[in-house]
Amino acid sequence: MSGAPQSAPHEAAVVIGGGIVGVCCALYLQRGGYEVTLVDPEAPGNSTAKWSCGQMAVSEVIPLSKPGILMKVPGWLMDQKGPLALRPGALPGILPWFLRFMASARHSKIVDIAQSMATLTHDVYTDYAPLLEICEDKALLGQRPVLELFDNPNAIERDKAHLELRQSLGFSYQRLNATEIADLEPALAGRFSHGLLFPDWRFISDTEGFIAALTGSFVSRGGRRVRSTAARIDESSGRATGVTLENGERIAACHVVVAAGTGSRRFFGQLGVNVPLEGVAGYQALLRNPGVEIRHSIIYADGGFCFTPMTRGLQIGGTIEFAGRDAKPNFKRAEIILEKAKRILPELRTDGIEFGVGYRPFLPDTKPVIDRSHRLQNVFMAFGHGQLGLTLGATTGKLIGDMVAGRATKQNLAPFSAYRFA
């Protein structure tokens, strides 16, 4: 597929949110011939996905509410050094969300969610291809698979049903022994004897640069990126007419896309939706000069975190926290990650360390919203991707492009309705 627009309606569109989902929506609208303005207060690349493990987790279709996780949650919440933490003050606000989350733990619900998510993740690389094709750097997306390592085989056996569910949906995995792990990751030789390899996963070694490169491609082809905050959607007679920025500037548009992650909440009243969207803090520690070579992105399952070799250093992260809305980051969570990482790799160098946090926009069933507003028919919604924003950015962008143009979408979008929580 070439980088040329597929049609030329010359209609104006505004995308609110310049993270990975927003920029992919903007690029696909631009390919459709729309004159697109992208609105975001941050610099390109400085978004939630910057502080992620950078994985294209195409088979990560099982919801977080799977029973194996639910059984661990009480212990994690009691242990502030565990991979999941809850600030006591956040409990009253998050309790309704947790009850919905637990309702997604039934086996039939898990299968239903996994099947729906797989319809999206099967097209990840195909949908990214035309967007990456027009970027100058052709190596933005690495080709190495992702590993998951365990302290013992019990966790693999406990998760066997979910691995088989993934396999039935067309995603493969390979069990690894000590020798195979050592061959793939010499730095971990003798430290792990049990693992999985996901051959269809990939990882991005510069998450910030990846988003910035896509944004640069959008701007170089005539797109406009405005560094500001959208204050409201302008409307008249049941349709959006544009967006007003915090400084009072108004951007007229025939179509509006809300793809602002947790920031999408401010528009729910205008959109006529009541979506239980929460920001879950994911912490990262970045070692500029780690002194250890890690070749793959590695999930350390029992520790609840990942190693990912980035161009800017070795990024170690994954621990998450329910902190409540507008709470300040608690970077002690990142220090906990580093402490655990040094138990595995004592030789890690921590000079030049940087801590970061990204607020993953989570819905209780871990499915995103990809939908059209019933109240404002020319406003489209693309948020709630949780830990799969980077993975599903291009697929979501393509779906939004099809919806705006009035084309039938390849996937059935009913499972991703904003109104499923009513």
Number of domains in the chain: 2
Reading the chain (422 residues) residue by residue, the pLDDT tens digits are 344 445 556 899 999 999 999 999 999 999 999 999 999 999 999 988 899 999 999 999 998 877 666 666 666 566 666 667 777 777 788 888 888 988 888 889 999 999 999 999 999 999 999 999 998 888 889 899 999 999 999 989 988 999 999 999 999 999 999 999 999 999 999 999 999 999 999 999 999 999 999 999 999 999 999 999 999 999 999 999 999 999 999 999 999 999 999 999 999 999 999 999 999 888 999 999 999 999 999 999 888 889 999 999 999 997 778 877 888 888 888 888 899 899 999 999 998 899 999 899 999 999 999 999 999 999 999 999 999 999 999 999 999 999 999 999 999 999 999 999 98
- Residue 157 makes CB contacts below 8 A (sequence gap 6+) with none
pLDDT reported for residue 321: 83
Are 81 and 92 in the same domain?
Answer: yes
Residue 125 covered by a domain: no
Residues 382 and 394 in one domain: yes
**pLDDT for 91-112, tens place per residue?**
788 888 888 988 888 889 999 9
Structure tokens at 135: 């970027």
CB 388 within 8 Å of CB 376: no
Confidence at residue 102, expressed as pLDDT on a 0 to 100 scale: 85
Whether residue 53 is contained in a domain is answered as no
Is the same domain home to 264 and 394? yes
Q: Which residues pair with 382 in a beta bridge?
A: 370
CA gap 361, 390 in Å, rounded: 12
- Residue 5 inside a domain? The answer is no
**The overall pTM is greater than 0.75:** yes
Q: Which of 318, 347, 362 is the last residue in one of the domains? A: 362
Give the separation between CA 210 and CA 287, rounded to whole angstroms.
Answer: 19
Residue 261 lies in a domain: yes
C-alpha 120/C-alpha 114 separation (Å) is: 10
Contact 149, 301 (CB under 8 A): yes
The verdict on 197 and 338 lying in the same domain is yes
User: What is the pLDDT at residue 6?
Assistant: 52
Give residue-wise pLDDT tens across range 13-60. Answer: 999 999 999 999 999 999 999 999 999 999 999 988 899 999 999 999
Q: Are residues 198 and 338 in the same domain?
A: yes
Domain termination site, one of 316, 332, 362: 362
CB burial of 161-190 (b: ≥16 within 10 Å; e: otherwise) equals ebbebbeebebebeebeeeebbebbebbee
In a domain, 55, yes or no: no
Question: Do both 293 and 148 map to the same domain?
Answer: yes
165 and 254, same domain (yes or no) = no
CATH value at residue 38: 3.50.50.60
- 385: closest CA among 45, 124, 26, 94? 124
**Tokens read off for 228:** 């500001």
Token code pair at residue 254: 């025939």
Distance CA 17, CA 263 (A): 8
Which of 330, 346, 362 corresponds to the end of one domain?
362
Same domain, 240 and 265: yes
Q: Based on the domain organization, do 179 and 318 belong to the same domain?
A: yes
Residue 7 lies in a domain: no
Q: How far is 386 from 416, CA to CA, in rounded Å? A: 13
Residue numbers of the domain that contains 254: 12-48+209-275+366-416
**163 in the same domain as 92:** yes
Residue 98: CATH number of its domain: 3.30.9.10
Do residues 243 and 389 both lie within one domain?
yes
Q: Does residue 421 lie in a domain region?
A: no
412 shares a domain with 316: no
Domain-located, residue 4: no
Query: Residue 2: what pLDDT?
Result: 40
